[in-house]
Structure 1
Amino acid sequence: MKILVVAATAMEIAPFIAQQNNVEVLITGVGAPACMYKLTQHLLTQQYNMVIQAGIAGTFKNSIALGDTVLVKNDVFADLGIYERDQFFTLFEKGFIAADEQPYKNGWLHNHYNIDVNLPWVNAITVNTVSDQITQTNLFLKKFDADIETMEGAAFHYVCLQQQIPFLQLRSISNYVGERVKTNWKIKESITSLNHHLQQIITQLQSTPL
């Protein structure tokens, strides 16, 4: 079982790196463009049985507590579209991309891989600009009704689906979307939870190969 762990920053998986696992790590940098370029470049030269993206995220839902860890089933580039007449339209709605055009499934980047772990599966959106503007939060909530928000998740799903590599997106919740007062965030707790579950999943995968 050859596994690659991907993260936007080394800080998010520092405890995992410190354990000196027999698992390769790729730090892509923050944002979708950096993730897509570096991950694609890496996967063109190396082969893996599983790729795991691990990082912290914001949540839209009060039902998800800060520090909780989740797995992402569906993701999408939320701000990739057209804004006109005070309305936002996706490229699918405007007919530029078919909803089931590879690698999309009904307009989402869907992960069909399942793993038996005690973590909830959620839907996510990926944005290029994280904002504290309530108008943006409400816009995306109304359009996608997603559970969490990141800046790299959809890029990760897109590349892995195109390369036909099994993948998991693992996220721990550090803050509520729109809350930019960092003293209210639970970064330390979310990183601890993230790395705990990351190690558990890798141990399980290594003991029960695909």
Structure 2
Amino acid sequence: MTGLLLVTAVEPEAAAVRAGVDGRLTVAAVGVGPAAAAAGTARLLAVAEAGGRPYTGVVCLGIGGGFAGRVEVGGTAIATRSVAADLGAESPDGFLPIDDLGFGTAVVEADAGLVKTLRAALPGAAVGTVLTVSTVTGTAASTEALATRFPDAVAEGMEGYGVACAAAGLPFAEVRTVSNVIGPRDRAAWRIPAALAALTEVGETLGLA
């Protein structure tokens, strides 16, 4: 996967990926949330292109929450698409995605070639939609609503859709390692070290591919 830019939200995630990549690919933390991640990714892509060393694709990596029964804590999720799950409008009849409002789309498909390579390299990973949210899901009601709206969703994070928008025109993929089950907020149940260790394993895979 020579020439890929690997981006995370925060430095601990980037450090975990770097430990696996071992200098073979560029890894950078670009900020938390879709707006910061999009801006940070766009800047890195523009600087590389201006310097005559453009990247060939972008992979968003990080820890995130996983839907119960769809991916295990400590496991890995590969996105077939990244969806801005809370981009839209409320209505008396429920949430209206931006697609239904006619203002664009909240869905970015992952590059089929990258997904195929990632699936071959990470055969134990769950595969499906990864949701991008600006507010992390923390109640049973909101978890049920998302699981119903997105029956193929395996995980959620806060940056994928933003990175995908910044990478427009380049192959894009998103990989999440799972630190917690999506649902009522329970910090005691989070397994962040396990998710970061899994990120290092993903980095090793990307660095050798």
Q: Could you say whether these structures have the same fold, taking a TM-score greater than 0.5 normalized by the shorter chain as the test?
A: yes
Partner AA of 1:140 in structure 2: L
Write the letter of the residue equivalent to 2:78. L
CA deviation profile, 1:63-84 (whole Å, cap 9, x unmatched): 3110001211111111111111
Instruction: Please say if residues 170 and 198 of structure 1, whose CA atoms lie closer than 8 Å, have aligned partners that are also in contact.
Output: no
Q: Percent identity?
A: 26
TM-score (structure 1 length as normaliser):
0.84
Is the 8 Å Cα contact of residues 13 and 191 (structure 1) preserved in structure 2? no
- In structure 2, what is the equivalent of residue 94 of structure 1? 101
Is 2:157–2:176's contact at 8 Å kept on the other side of the alignment?
no
Name the CA distance, whole Å, in 2 between partners of 1:28 and 1:151.
12
Alpha-carbon distance, 1:52 to partner? 2.0
**Moved segments of 4+, more than 6 Å:** none
SS state at 2:101 partner = coil
Q: Which residue of 2 aligns with 1:35?
A: 37
| Count of aligned pairs between the two proteins | 194
1:154 matched to 2:153:
no
Residue of structure 2 equivalent to 1:193: 198
Shift in Å, 1:86: 4.8
- State yes or no: 1:177 paired with 2:174: no
- How has the CA–CA distance of structure 1 residues 149 and 18 changed in structure 2, closer, same or farther, with 3 Å as cutoff? closer
Contact 1:12 1:55 in 2 (8 A): yes
For residue 120 of structure 1, report the CA deviation from its aligned partner. 3.4
Aligned-pair distance for 1:91? 1.6
Aligned to 2:41, the other structure's residue is in SS state helix
Q: Which amino acid aligns with 2:109?
A: H
Query: Is residue 2:138 matched to residue 1:139?
Result: no
Rounded to whole Å, the distance in 1 between the matches of 2:202 and 2:136 is 26
- Residue in 1 that maps onto 2:3: 2
Instruction: Give yes or no for the alignment of 1:64 onto 2:71.
Output: yes
Offset at residue 180 of structure 1 (A): 2.1
Hey, what does 2:14 align to over in structure 1?
A: 13
In the alignment, residue 4 of structure 2 is paired with which amino acid? I
Q: Is residue 49–residue 166 contact of structure 1 (8 Å, CA) maintained in 2?
A: yes
Q: Which amino acid aligns with 2:61?
A: A
- Distance in structure 2 (CA, Å) of the matches to 1:186 and 1:68: 11
